[in-house]
Amino acid sequence: MPHTQGFLITLVDVGSAGEQAGLRPGDVILEVNGRSVSSRRDIVSVIEEDFLKAGDVLDLKVWREGGEMNVHLVLGKQGG
């Protein structure tokens, strides 16, 4: 069953925190640290509200190829 909610990843930069976490174009981020997200702004809000910084870990629930999976993403420096 495809998801209609979440944030669709369209590009993963080489060397980025997303690539290092194993994210791929076509993945849909459903939750960040247990909170539902549907936009980049939602993801940024979780980071800001939790006072997260480079080196902290985001726990993502991701939809990929018909199933949910958990991904741990270590935040990099902004813009890096």
pTM of the model: 0.88
pLDDT tens for the 80 residues of the chain, in order: 456 689 999 999 999 999 999 999 999 999 999 999 999 999 999 999 999 999 999 999 999 999 999 999 999 876 44
Q: What is the CATH number of domain 7-74?
A: 2.30.42.10
The pair phi, psi for residue 67, each rounded to 5°, is -150, 160
For residue 11 the two structure tokens come to 């590009």
